[in-house]
Amino acid sequence: MGLRQFLFSFEGRISRLEWWEFSIPYAVFLFLLYWTESSFAELGPRETFAVIAIVVTYAVALFMWMAVNVKRCHDRGHSGWFVLLGLIPLVNIWYVVEVCFLPGQHGPNRFGPDPRATRVPVFSFPGHPQLKAG
């Protein structure tokens, strides 16, 4: 799966590891974006361009978050609409446990092939047992 499909497509499946590899830097990025936005709040109307740029960045980041989370729901065998459970207080605990901590379905499901079957390890080197055919 290419980066464009990973960030902007609502089709396919991703593993828990891929979800975490996206989510941790994403959370740091949102924190920095929020910090930047709060510093612009004190400047005034001249900085309208900067505020618009931050809002557009938030929108793109939200879209990417939705695409990645929908693919993670697909890996668990759920429709993309399962993401909406994250908006319901207390029920969102179920969503977080499913997406963050539980493994995906083994083998292909209605959303595509098992992402763990085609994933190249992050730290791969020649002769690595997972890279051998068989």
Amino acid 129: pLDDT: 52
Q: Is residue 111 part of a domain?
A: yes
Q: Is residue 89 part of a domain?
A: yes
Q: Which whole-number Å values give the CA distances from 78 to 49, 82, 99, 105, 120, in the listed order?
A: 40, 6, 10, 10, 25
Q: Per-residue pLDDT tens, the chain, 134 aa: give them.
A: 788 999 999 999 999 999 999 999 999 998 888 887 777 666 666 677 777 888 898 899 999 999 999 999 999 999 999 999 999 999 999 999 999 999 999 999 999 999 988 765 444 455 555 544 44
Nearest by Cα to 118 from 11, 6, 3, 14: 14
Overall domain count for the chain: 1
Q: Is residue 134 part of a domain?
A: no
Q: Is residue 130 part of a domain?
A: no
State pTM to two decimals. Answer: 0.80
Q: Is residue 131 part of a domain?
A: no
Q: Is residue 85 part of a domain?
A: yes
Q: Is residue 132 part of a domain?
A: no
